[in-house]
Structure 1
């Protein structure tokens, strides 16, 4: 299935990217405060290469290690992180959908054809190492030694932006990797040995934190910095709560995940990461987090979140520090979201078969708006699809606008969408508004924190009881005449 090599760690991916001419080494000094953000975003908007900053500094003080940025700044590199060429992503999405809900086996031939699926399942079994590359050096538990960015002028301070935060529920055994959660949560550096973990209430890390709070015990936490591409992408995927990102990363990587026991906390950590932070979260300790620039394009409000006290830092002998920037799209998370959109489509179609395509516009913060193409067969079907998306799939609970179109409309073309809305939608009949539904509290447009309305727009052709008028006929040229026109224009060089 994979056409690219397995990338066991971040540096293997960087070697591959450099061989493709897709990595740039920057020798010019670049300040970690604000200036690096401008360079990252400029490179991303030009669909530029991975950046390696070899002379990063904080207001004149040189960083102790190189900084890697814009890792997944193009859809092609996100696909490569999965071991795929861009054109192979849809088929991989079909495979992941089948892996989640495999059909019954029908005979030996069918069983043998499932070998790739069986191999993928076996790849979820982690391998425990006694000696891990990420533990080559036991460093002082001092966060000031890391080249942490302060991305935006209004930010409260240095912010770790690509942390893979590793937790498990209270009462679980450290060896039960299937119960682990990996999440990419914002981590504000407070001082040398404290940082704030900003996990939202619906995320796995927050659920684990609540279990430890109920027991009154401190919670062990580890943070992997500079993990391999598969681990990074697994941590960012909206997987079901019953699926551990740590074990699922083996499916994405095409090879078993390697872990090792942490030094000072009862957790397993990715053995091939560049840096690991270990520590504890006290059930009663919080601190005001923020403000920081967010994916909405606004600074978020200051709110209390749990504090992690660092007990150990381990890293490779020559570590690399991985960073990113979050802001109004386009940014790196929105590029990752484009590829995840393609991966998620087969899963969505398994739940709602009449969906033929779906687009989450990156400019709409990647999830707050969806344009859905359906194979319409009966009256009211567009509304059923809207309600199914909002109610059946957790990742769409924060999608506040859904536009449904027919198969002849390209859901990724704003001109097509606008034409469908202008000619197939009546505001009084085809607009559905819901109130008091869940919403990301970062949505400042919401009248109440955490609750907002939903807007559904049926821009499909109306059939049956949906209309009492004869519907218009879409104009179209004869395809043979269009082909003839193309030949004529080629003849005059146009």
Structure 2
């Protein structure tokens, strides 16, 4: 599937961005409090390049470590991070669907056609090394000082510095540190609260929190590795909705087409990516918590401060002349929303495998990339739109937080609001075509919910009503005949009547 060069490191990807005119270096000083985020957001909104800030400052002091932002600021760069162009996203989505529900080959030719998939699976086997670039420089115990890292304070109302692009690596209690298939790698917020102390914001349903509970039940601290500046495949794998049987860390090998390299951490019983820029090693307390936040979130609001576990950092390891990778979260557009646009397409084959009548689906970035879904279907029987709504809400965990599902016919482009508005205005009756649920799971950051974590959901059937769904004759959609459209197209082109687009 991969049709771009391998990017085994963040630096390799940045070199590719520079070679394709998608990289800009900022040499003048830029404060890491608020203003770096303001610059990043302005550039992202114009679909601009990756930014490398060579002179980040804090309280008028220049910090020696460059900051890299906007790595995934366009859908093309998200696809490139997966090793493909946008035209290869659908094939990768089919591969992910096959991982969830593999089917046996139908003869030798079918088995041979699946060789690329087999090769990709074999590429996930990790390789252990004894020396690694990420441990070129090591600071342990009293030498740990997180203030050396230019961690941004993104928004005026933020509680303090916040690490926003970490891959947080954990494993369950009682497991083997060498068994990377049991590891969880998630992108969680990490608040810096001291020279060697951070707060781990992992929600209860996430893998990191589940591993923490296994260690806490044994009365022990949880080993943790916070990986900063990993290769793009590892970063995106940590955010992908992979099957529970597939390790995020090793899946990056399938995307890169090579075996991922890991090295034993220095002070905790974990393996860490050998090619990363920086790793923070530490132990998460089984009992101690601290108020995390408030911080600006993807909803466009500040979330309130809540208690989350505290970790003590026992070692900081990094490359020589490391780069610090950062981003912000806020009201879309932001990098998570742009990544979500690509991930929506990746998830479509999996959805079709479960609900075959789905033709297309759009999760509008302006609706936080998951709060609203517009889905087009090949409608064949009464009540089918409602079945699709319920199927989506129950199929993948991320859809449990989708508060509104709009179902349209396959002649409607779900990504075109004008099309959707026409379907809502002409094919939906509020007294008949709304389905409302109460007290269903919801993202607790949804302040519109009456209770944290519980909310209503609404399904809107904006499809053409058939058979027992209506007692009226349905209208006929007007369309220009193909031969008339061709005549008009030719005449307009010849007489240049089209104006300027």
For the pair 1:183 / 2:189, whether they are aligned, the reply is no
Aligned to 2:241: 238
Q: Following superposition of structure 1 onto structure 2, how do residues 133-172 of structure 1 map, counting pairs within 5 Å?
A: 133-139=133-139, 140-172=143-175
Residue 228 of structure 1, aligned match among 228, 231, 237: 231
Asked whether the equivalents of residues 99 and 117 of structure 1 are also in contact (C-alpha less than 8 Å), the reply is: no
Asked whether the equivalents of residues 94 and 346 of structure 1 are also in contact (C-alpha less than 8 Å), the reply is: yes
Aligned to 1:289: 292
| Residue-by-residue CA offset, 1:196-224 (whole Å, 9 max, x unaligned) | 01111111111111111111110000010
User: Secondary structure in 1 aligned to 2:440?
Assistant: strand
Residue 422 of structure 2, aligned match among 394, 419, 427: 419
Asked whether the equivalents of residues 171 and 183 of structure 2 are also in contact (C-alpha less than 8 Å), the reply is: yes
| Residue-by-residue CA offset, 1:249-276 (whole Å, 9 max, x unaligned) | 1122222111111000000001110000
User: Secondary structure in 2 aligned to 1:38?
Assistant: helix
Aligned to 2:44: 44
Asked whether the equivalents of residues 222 and 279 of structure 1 are also in contact (C-alpha less than 8 Å), the reply is: yes
User: Secondary structure in 2 aligned to 1:251?
Assistant: helix
Quick one: distance in 1 between partners of 2:131 and 2:150? 26
Asked whether the equivalents of residues 224 and 283 of structure 2 are also in contact (C-alpha less than 8 Å), the reply is: yes
User: Which range is displaced more, 93-102 or 69-78?
Assistant: 93-102
For the pair 1:98 / 2:101, whether they are aligned, the reply is no
Asked whether the equivalents of residues 364 and 372 of structure 2 are also in contact (C-alpha less than 8 Å), the reply is: yes
Q: Which runs of 5+ in 2 are unaligned?
A: none
Shift of the alpha carbon at 1:113? 1.3
Asked whether the equivalents of residues 166 and 226 of structure 2 are also in contact (C-alpha less than 8 Å), the reply is: yes
User: Which range is displaced more, 328-337 or 203-212?
Assistant: 203-212
Quick one: distance in 2 between partners of 1:410 and 1:30? 43
For the pair 1:313 / 2:316, whether they are aligned, the reply is yes
User: Secondary structure in 2 aligned to 1:372?
Assistant: strand
User: Secondary structure in 1 aligned to 2:309?
Assistant: strand
For the pair 1:118 / 2:121, whether they are aligned, the reply is no
Aligned to 1:266: 269
Aligned to 2:215: 212
Q: Which runs of 5+ in 1 are unaligned?
A: none
Aligned to 1:299: 302
User: Secondary structure in 2 aligned to 1:340?
Assistant: helix
User: Secondary structure in 2 aligned to 1:349?
Assistant: helix
Asked whether the equivalents of residues 96 and 242 of structure 2 are also in contact (C-alpha less than 8 Å), the reply is: no
| Residue-by-residue CA offset, 1:27-67 (whole Å, 9 max, x unaligned) | 11110000001110011011000000011111211112110
Aligned to 2:23: 23
Shift of the alpha carbon at 1:392? 2.1
Aligned to 2:442: 439
- TM (norm. structure 1) is 0.99
Residue 334 of structure 2, aligned match among 328, 331, 335: 331
User: Secondary structure in 1 aligned to 2:431?
Assistant: helix
User: Which range is displaced more, 107-116 or 300-309?
Assistant: 107-116
| Residue-by-residue CA offset, 1:144-174 (whole Å, 9 max, x unaligned) | 1100000000000000010100001111110
Aligned to 1:2: 2
Aligned to 2:33: 33
Quick one: distance in 1 between partners of 2:431 and 2:185? 45
Quick one: distance in 2 between partners of 1:393 and 1:448? 23
Aligned to 1:62: 62
Asked whether the equivalents of residues 160 and 188 of structure 1 are also in contact (C-alpha less than 8 Å), the reply is: yes
Shift of the alpha carbon at 1:102? 2.1
User: Secondary structure in 2 aligned to 1:276?
Assistant: strand
Q: Following superposition of structure 1 onto structure 2, how do residues 456-475 of structure 1 map, counting pairs within 5 Å?
A: 456-475=459-478
Q: Following superposition of structure 1 onto structure 2, how do residues 473-488 of structure 1 map, counting pairs within 5 Å?
A: 473-488=476-491
Aligned to 2:353: 350
Residue 374 of structure 2, aligned match among 371, 375, 384: 371
- TM (norm. structure 2) is 0.98
User: Which range is displaced more, 97-106 or 210-219?
Assistant: 97-106
Shift of the alpha carbon at 1:239? 2.0
Quick one: distance in 2 between partners of 1:236 and 1:154? 26
| Residue-by-residue CA offset, 1:168-196 (whole Å, 9 max, x unaligned) | 11111101111100000000000100000
For the pair 1:132 / 2:132, whether they are aligned, the reply is yes
Quick one: distance in 1 between partners of 2:155 and 2:440? 32
How many matched pairs? 494
User: Which range is displaced more, 384-393 or 94-103?
Assistant: 94-103
Asked whether the equivalents of residues 49 and 73 of structure 2 are also in contact (C-alpha less than 8 Å), the reply is: yes
User: Which range is displaced more, 132-141 or 382-391?
Assistant: 132-141
Quick one: distance in 1 between partners of 2:493 and 2:409? 32
Shift of the alpha carbon at 1:2? 1.3
Quick one: distance in 1 between partners of 2:470 and 2:349? 32
Quick one: distance in 2 between partners of 1:344 and 1:333? 16
| Residue-by-residue CA offset, 1:64-107 (whole Å, 9 max, x unaligned) | 21100000000000000011011111121112212332221222
Quick one: distance in 1 between partners of 2:471 and 2:251? 51
Aligned to 1:74: 74
For the pair 1:450 / 2:422, whether they are aligned, the reply is no
Asked whether the equivalents of residues 55 and 64 of structure 2 are also in contact (C-alpha less than 8 Å), the reply is: no
